[in-house]
Structure formats: structure tokens, C-alpha cells
A and B are shown apart, each in its own frame.
Chain A
Amino acid sequence: MSRVEKAPYQIIIGLETHVQLKTQTKLFSRSSTAFGAPPNTQTSPVDIGLPGSLPVMNRRAYELALRTAVALNCTIPRYTKWDRKQYFYPDLPKGYQISQYDLPMSCEGWLEISDSKDAFAPKRVRIIRAHLEEDAGKSMHDEAAGKADSRIDLNRAGTPLLEIVTYPDLSSPQEAKAYLEELKLLLLYLEVSDCNMEEGSLRVDANINLHIDTPDGEVATPIVEVKNMNSFRSVERALSYEAQRQYEVWQETGQTKGQVPKQTRGWDDQAQVTRGQRHKEESSDYRYFPDPDLCPVTTTPEQIEEVQRQLGELPAATRARLVSQFGITPYDADVIVNQGRGVLTYFEELAQASGDGKQASNWVQQDVLRTLKETACAIDAFPVSALRLAELLQAVRNNEVDNARARTIFAEMLGSRLSAREAMKKLGIEKVDASDLENLCRELLAKNPHVVTDVKNGKEKAIGSLIGQARQKNPNVNPNDVRRMCLELIAKE
């Protein structure tokens, strides 16, 4: 954005992302984590914090967290433990949240971000730590306080979350958005989370402030934590707004970091502004201590190696491979990889089977993605398999049909679920053999002597008028073939 570039300040952003891990059951109990059940139907004594109940760690949650941490290039300490973060709130039934404090299960990683249109230079966003914790329940407050009770739904209480915290390495709202998109893509590739922001399985908080150049040197504005951002777009907008707001406040007040307590502001998507939230300074002492109900978890280098081995190819590597293996542009590779594993697999099958990466890329990006979008269909349920589409692309490659005809065939394949050959047959599309083509061209040239004259006078373009006529006579003819044959025949005269 031009405003940002012109602004006499640098934006400093760090992100905290809470990712709900894709487990069947909760982090410390066997209750289901499925979204959308009636309130308080997915709770156990452990989730409610009933006296005498005890947590037992969900191994699967730890495995998913470990896979993610390894993919984020994190260091995995040999030993990690659980801590209680203590505060009173009605949606926190035990009076503490089981989290990880000073020995998180992973730390010091990075995620590389880039922009395929070079809006910013590629960079490694450093990750401070990624740790596991349980989610709290959900409070539903009565706005007219005192008139009715607040209600609590504990279905979410105990759901496993991986909190991923970056260093303040992001220097624009665009970079913040790019980081989130890349992170989400990675999480989807790893199959560790659904990353559904609407269902709360991906939540983002941002810390932002500005470094401003002044005649007296650089000053920093107070750090603000921005919450309530419900989409990546709102993250981008909230941060742009917040940067501008902080600049204006600084111009007005001159307040710098350390002069005011850290503020929390919520993004109001309707009004497109951030608003100050009531801050409770007294609640900042969480009295963390190791949870005596749980055992520390140890992870051996062998286990980490095994996870590494099973990671498979991650998006960044896939992009590079698509470029070298199939000869497509980095931009195209980016678009395809960003669609997720399903579309990627489809593309790879198509490119392999058709033997033409560029065509495959074009078809996937234009026809396949468009159809998916129009029909709100998932790639797994797409009616034309990659192999069938490859057959069609081969027909194009062999000059049996041109691209326009191929699209007609594709439409037929979508509707009737026929193979390319069957669809061509049904549509009466077949390759015109050489003698038929020659006869057709002779006939056209005989009927249009002025075209012959024009061509002989050097106006080859005149052939164009014959192509339409040829296709009227036989829809299967290839325009290029018609052109080539006509020119040959004229030359022979």
C-alpha cells in the first residue's frame, strides 16, 4: 500500500496463532471435540473440573503438535512439561488452564514467506515457540447485565490448541496476511488442523507498534494487542488501521512505548476500526507452576527424525519442484500449491499423464478451479478425474481438437461423466483425416478465388475468412490445419 510506503515509520508486527488440532478427543479427556453440538453435551468430569477428576494427555494431540513444530523448523527439547495458568473466570472450570510455560514443547523455528507478485521480499519469519494448551469454554453473556444470567458452554473446554508465537518480524499487514496464509497452508498440508476460522479452529492475535524516525532518533509507539480478527482479510485491515491510528495518536500525544501500559484492542469488523478493551492489570500474575497431575513428556532425537521422515514434502519445496519438474512459472506453481493437497495431486497426475505441465497448469487454474468454484465442489468430488482430463489434453496436443473444442468436450465430460473419447464421440468430434481436409480446402479455394489472389499478393491473412466457412462445413476441422493446407494448395498452384 502506498500509504505505508510513504509513511515515516516502520511497522513491527508479531502474531500469536491458536490452532485447534484435529483430534477426535480433548487434550486431557476422552470427550469429543466435534464442533456444533448442543451446549455442554461434550463434557466429562475432567472438562468440568469435577473434584477427584484427573487429566490424561492425549498422545495424538502431542503427535500433531510435534509434526507441526518439526515442519516449522523448531527445536524440540528433549523434555517438556505442563504448567497451570491460574485465573478465575466462569468458562475456566478448574480455575486454571493447563498450558506450557517455561519449557514449551518446541521453540526457535521459522516459516518462510514470499509473494509471487513480489509485493515484498521473501523472508523467514522467526517463531519464538509453539506450545500445547487446552482451550477454555465459551461464555455467552447477557448484554443487559443483571437482567439475565450469563451462560457457559463447556463443549470447547479442553480442546487441544497449539499456540504459535512469532518474533516481531513482520513489517506490514500484507506480510502478516502472507504469513497466516502460508501457515494455514502448511497446517492443512500436515493435516493437523481444519484451520476453520469461523469455527474458531484458527485464531489470531497480533501485537503491533511503530518505529518512527524523528529528528531526535527513532521512537517506538506503545505495543497494542489486537484481537477479534475473524479472517485473514480482517487481520490485514485491522493492522493497517491500527498502524495509522498509532501514528495519529503519537502525533497528538507523543506517547511512546513504556509510558502507558500495554493495551488490548478489539477489531470491529462492521465499523472497520479497533476499539480499546477494558484491561485488567491485576490479572497479569497467573501464578504458573508445573501441573502435578501430569508427567513431563520426553521426546528423543530418534522420534524427531521419524517425524521428519514422515512429514513429506512441504509447500515451499513443492513449489520449487513444480517449477523444475513441469516447467511452469513460479507464479503458477504458487497458485496450484496454495490450493491445497487435493488440487496439487490433481495437477501432478494431470501433468504426468498428459505430458504437458504448462497445459495442465492452464487447465487446472482456469477450467478446473473455475468449475470447482462455480459448483462449490471439492476436488475429491470433481467429476472429471485427472486421468480423464489428461486424455483430453492429449487430444489437444495431438492436434485432434483445438482448445475451443476441447472446452466443449470438457463441459460434456462434466455433465455426462463420460471419458474424453466417449464425449467426443457423443459430440461427433473426430479428427478430420488428411484427404478430407484437402478436399474441403480445395472446395473452399475454388469457391473463393479472391482469397487465392490475395494470398498470392502476399496477404496471407485473407485465409482467415476461409476458416469460419470450413468450420461451418465440418466443425471438427482444426483451424490451423485448414490454414496450413490452404496455403500449401495455393503454393502448389
Chain B
Amino acid sequence: MSALHQLTATELLAAFAREETTSVAATQACLDQIQQHDGRLGAFLRTSPEAALERAAHIDRKRQAGQPLGPLAGVPVAVKDVICVKDEVTTCASKMLEHYRSPFHATVIERLLAADAVLIGKTNMDEFAMGGSTENSAYRAARNPWDEQRTPGGSSGGAAACVAARMAPLSLGSDTGGSIRQPASFCGVVGLKPTYGRVSRWGLVAFASSLDQIGPLARTAQDCALLLEAIAGHDPRDSTSAPQPTPAYTRSVTQPLQGLRLGVVREHFGEGLNAEVESAVREAIAVYQSLGATVTDISLPHSRYGIATYYIIAPSEASSNLARYDGVHFGHRTDEAAMLAELAAERKALEAAGDRRGLDELDTPLVRMYRKTRSEGFGLEVKRRIMLGAYTLSKGYYDQYYVKALKVRRLIRQDFDRAFEQVDLVIGPVAPTPAFRLGEKVNDPLAMYLEDLYTVSANLAGIPGMSLPCGFTASGLPLGLQLQAPAFAEERLLRAAHQFQTATDWHTRAPSL
């Protein structure tokens, strides 16, 4: 048997069942891996070794006592720090929530616990899930395990990096415009963004409510199936959660699909697509063809408006969702004494200068508290998006931007509806490039936004999308393949992904740390 941290969740569960190892041993192996490498990688913001080992021991005892066990019994799971765990710190990688402890569990956490999973820590991310490189974390940048000079992607950078670095077999991320799929692609792991409404958002700190979905990251489609099955399902606490039964993904994932019809999106192979990415994706398509799939050229004519649409809708919702971080009820608040002293000094200076207008316009203490709290608590990218969103929702601009974006969103959805009349899955690249260097795009927000070119459409249309390893660049960086399916057809995605993984071994390769 390989070292425990090298095992997939499915392998671990089998080993537990055969009593070849214990959850404590597996959890310890993951913690050791974190201990050894995370100082460099920055995949985690916090780990909870004692609590994790204690819980692992508890589950081991349950197993020994022959008690019924959940489907993830004893498997270590990492959780993106945008998902609330009761009484523990959830920061969203923001200074704003540095000490914030949620009084409740997210639904997905309740379900993980009910499945007897072991939570080992909270993973690093772009602040409030805004970004594509995890460089927007207020705490530390995360690094790509395949090349530490490069980004693991984002916003679920930590979630993908920790799986790639064998620190956890499973992790939960969130995807608003590609935040699971793009880092999965950059780190050479599997990531699935479920259909909007498939997984409850209760306890997921909102970035853009109509786009956010929690989803699994793992090394295999089988493991993704395992984790998705545990967390999916209707939740009455989330009005947008779909009242759909959850299929038994773990049972169906290994069944190959017959006569799979794949759609290759013409628009996805245009300008801006890195040549190595393109050839890896084309080879992957050939693999499917060799497995009996047919390939059809399709068009998603409105996909070219995806980025523009996304960068109106997401910031609009974000500007609203983040209004609650005002220093009044929870989270960071500016130093009040200093703030009041500053105001008093300003007032005095204005009075001395006889500046009536200045005095008139001077902030009230409340407004100054808001101003300073939010200036201090939020990072640049978050502020940029709040401003964008506040602008696109303002009087006079609302129809021009937001309403129009909603219309285009509908067209993008209709494009997919039409495409899925012809094909079972849409296949293509995840991101236009492999993992880029840290710092490379930090000062070029537009270039950063273009990273989401192929992923935002799934969020806008509400359909599921998946990223799986399909090769490497000459320099050894992993490359990802994206599959997209009609709403609630995750089963099809997982089966197709598994089929690919039985024919290829990209997903078995590990970075040398």
C-alpha cells in the first residue's frame, strides 16, 4: 500500500473497511503532509490537528464497535474558508472577518459531519472568493504544488492545492465564475461545480448569490462522486435549493456511457487560447472518440459576452452582499477612539480655517466609522468589485448594465439549451492558460478576469461544469479539460469523467514537493 496520504478517499474507505489502517493514521498522514509542506504552499489558513485526530479516533472507535458509519467515515476533508463551521473562525481570507466565528454550521458541514467525515482545516482563497489566483488572500498567497513560483489558481486555490499536494483527499470549494474548475485545472485535480441549486448555500458566505455553488475537489471523478453525494440535496433553509432527489453518484460513476455525444464549442478555440492547452484538450477529445464518443461542432454564440455579463452581475450582487460588513454588528470595526480623535482634529482644523463648507461636509462619526471600517477591512479587489457593483446598480445605469446583463444571461442559457438538444456534454478548455506566475496578473485585473472566459457561462446558465486533468505542458504544469452538462446532469459528468480517467493516467501523477 502507498503512503496513506497518497490514497484517494475511495481507496481509504476500502482500507478502513479491510481494517488495514485507521482514520487516525490517515488523518495524521495528511496533517504531517501539511506540517511538512504547507509553510511553503499556503494551501491552508488554519488546521485543527487535535480536533481532527480526536474525531478520527471517535470514528475509529465507532467502526471497531460495529456501529453504523456514514459514507465518508474517517476520511479527511478540507473546507474552503468561505464555508461556516460552527464556533470556528471563518475569515473568507479577509481582514474583515479575521476573528469572526459563525454560530451555525453550513448545511454542507452538517452533511459532512453526518457522513462521519473528518474536518482537517480551512483552506486559503481569494478574499471573499474574488479572484483567480488566491493572491487576493488577506493572509498569505498560496502556491502551486507543481511550481511554487506559480499560482494554484483561484479563488479555491487552497482547496485545489491541498488535494494536489496530497494534504487531503477531498476538499470543498466554491465556484462563482470558475473558482473550483480553474484551480482544479491549474493544480491537476478534479473539480466539479454542481448545478445551481444542487448544493445548499446555507452557510456559504455569499459573493454573488445567483452564481455561487459549493462543489467537490478531489483527485478522481469517483471521489468527487463520493463527496458530492454526501453534500447535495434539497435544503429548506436555502430558497434557491432545488427540490430534486440526489442520485447515487457513487453507484453510477463507474458505469461507462454508451454513444456519448460531445459538443466542441467553436468559440472556445479562438484567440487567446494557449497552444499547449488547446492541443491537450484536442487530445482528450480524441481519447473520448477512441472510447466511442461522437463529436459535434457546436456554437454558443453569446459566450463571447460571458465575461462582460458576469462582471456586471457578480459585482452587483457582491456590492449588496458585502454591505453587511459595516462594523456595526460583527466583524472588523475601526479603532473608535482613534477615529473620533481624527474627526475632532479635522473639525478643529476646519474651524480654525473658517471652512464652513468643509465643516458641513465633514463625516458624522457613524459615516466615518463605516468609511474607515470598510477601507481597512477589505482588500483592493473586493473594493474594486463593490464599486463596480454599486455603479452598475445606480439610478440611471441600472437598465443600461444590470438589466441588460440579465437579458444576455438568458441568451447564454438559451445557447446551452439549444446545444444540449444536439449533444450530451460540452467539452473544451477550463482556462485559456496553464497556471501563471505569482504577481503576473496582479496589476492587470482585466487579464485576470479573462481567466474566467470558459467557466463563467456555466455559472450564468446555472449548469454543472467539471474540470479534470488532461495533460501537462512541456514545463510540467498540469492542464485541465472542462465538461459541461445540462442542469442536474452531474451524474453524466461524473460518469464521463470516470471513463476518461480509466483511459488516462494524468490524474495519478503527483507533484514532487
Contact = CB atoms under 8 A, between A and B. Distances in A.
Interface of A: 45, 48-57, 84, 86, 88, 90, 93-96, 145-146, 152, 285, 287-289, 292-295
Contacts of B451: none
A94 B395 CA distance: 21
Which of A51, A86, A292, A293 lies at the interface centre, i.e. has the most chain B CB atoms within 10 A of its CB? A51
A51 B330 CA distance: 9
Given A93-B329, A146-B340, A295-B239, A50 B103 contact: yes
A274 B394 CA distance: 33
Contacts of B239: 54-57, 293-295
A72 B44 CA distance: 58
Contact of B202 (A49, A54, A289): A54
A49 B102 contact: no
B97 A95 contact: no
Interface of B: 83-84, 90, 92, 97, 100, 102-104, 106, 201-206, 208-210, 236-240, 316-317, 319-320, 322-324, 326, 328-330, 340, 365-366, 370, 390, 393-395, 398, 402
Contact of B323 (A50, A53, A88): A88
A353 B394 CA distance: 65
A86 B205 contact: no
A86 B320 contact: yes
Nearest to A28: B239
13 contacts: A48-B329, A48-B330, A51-B97, A51-B330, A52-B90, A53-B202, A95-B320, A96-B323, A287-B394, A288-B398, A292-B209, A293-B240, A295-B240
A45 B104 contact: yes
Nearest to A29: B237
A145 B347 CA distance: 15
Contacts of B237: 54, 56
B317 A292 contact: yes
Contacts of A288: 393, 398
Contacts of B102: 45, 50-52
A96 B240 contact: no
A287 B390 CA distance: 7
A86 B323 contact: yes
A51 B326 contact: no
Contact of B326 (A88, A289, A294): A88
A52 B84 contact: yes
Which of B83, B100, B317 lies at the interface centre, i.e. has the most chain A CB atoms within 10 A of its CB? B317
Nearest to A51: B205
B459 to A, nearest CB: 12
Nearest to B83: A52
A152 B328 contact: yes
A289 B402 contact: yes
B240 A49 contact: no
Contacts of A49: 324, 329
A56 B200 CA distance: 13
A7 B393 CA distance: 46
Contact of A52 (B202, B210, B366): B202
Contact of A54 (B103, B201, B324): B201
Contacts of A293: 206, 209, 239-240
A90 B366 contact: yes
A22 B365 CA distance: 37
A53 B317 CA distance: 15
Given A51-B324, A55-B239, A146 B365 contact: yes
A289 B401 CA distance: 12
Contacts of B320: 84, 86, 95-96, 287, 289
Contacts of A53: 104, 202
Contacts of B83: 52
Given A53-B202, A295-B240, 7 more contacts: A50-B104, A51-B92, A54-B239, A95-B324, A289-B320, A293-B239, A294-B239
A289 B398 CA distance: 9
B155 to A, nearest CB: 16
A230 B327 CA distance: 33
A116 to B, nearest CB: 46
A490 to B, nearest CB: 88
B361 to A, nearest CB: 11
Contacts of B97: 51
Contacts of B210: 292
B214 to A, nearest CB: 11
A45 B201 contact: no
A476 B102 CA distance: 79
Contact of B393 (A94, A152, A289): A289
Given A51-B206, A54-B239, A289 B316 contact: yes
The 7 A-B pairs of least Cβ separation, nearest first, read A95-B323, A292-B210, A292-B209, A287-B393, A51-B205, A52-B203, A52-B84
A152 B328 CA distance: 10
Given A95-B323, A287-B390, A289-B402, A51 B90 contact: yes
Nearest to B340: A146
Which of A55, A93, A289 lies at the interface centre, i.e. has the most chain B CB atoms within 10 A of its CB? A289
A430 B84 CA distance: 80
Contacts of B238: 54, 56
B377 to A, nearest CB: 13
A295 B239 CA distance: 7
A145 B237 CA distance: 40
Nearest to A154: B329
Given A146-B365, A292-B317, A293-B240, A52 B324 contact: no
A49 B100 CA distance: 13
Contacts of B393: 86, 287-289
B100 A51 contact: yes
Contacts of A145: 365
B513 to A, nearest CB: 33
B324 A94 contact: yes
A55 B370 CA distance: 25
B395 A285 contact: yes
Contacts of B208: 292
Given A287-B394, A289-B393, A293-B239, A52 B205 contact: yes
Which of B317, B322, B329, B395 lies at the interface centre, i.e. has the most chain A CB atoms within 10 A of its CB? B329
Nearest to B328: A90
Contacts of B240: 292-295
A88 to B, nearest CB: 6
Contacts of A55: 239
Contacts of A48: 329-330
Nearest to B90: A51
A84 B204 CA distance: 20
A263 to B, nearest CB: 19
Contacts of A56: 236-239
Which of A88, A145, A295 lies at the interface centre, i.e. has the most chain B CB atoms within 10 A of its CB? A88
Nearest to B329: A93
A84 B390 CA distance: 13
A292 B206 CA distance: 11
A57 B239 CA distance: 8
B256 to A, nearest CB: 37
B237 to A, nearest CB: 6
A86 B393 CA distance: 10
Nearest to B322: A95
Contacts of A292: 208-210, 240, 317
A16 to B, nearest CB: 21
A79 to B, nearest CB: 15
Nearest to B209: A292
A294 B209 CA distance: 10
Contacts of A152: 328-329
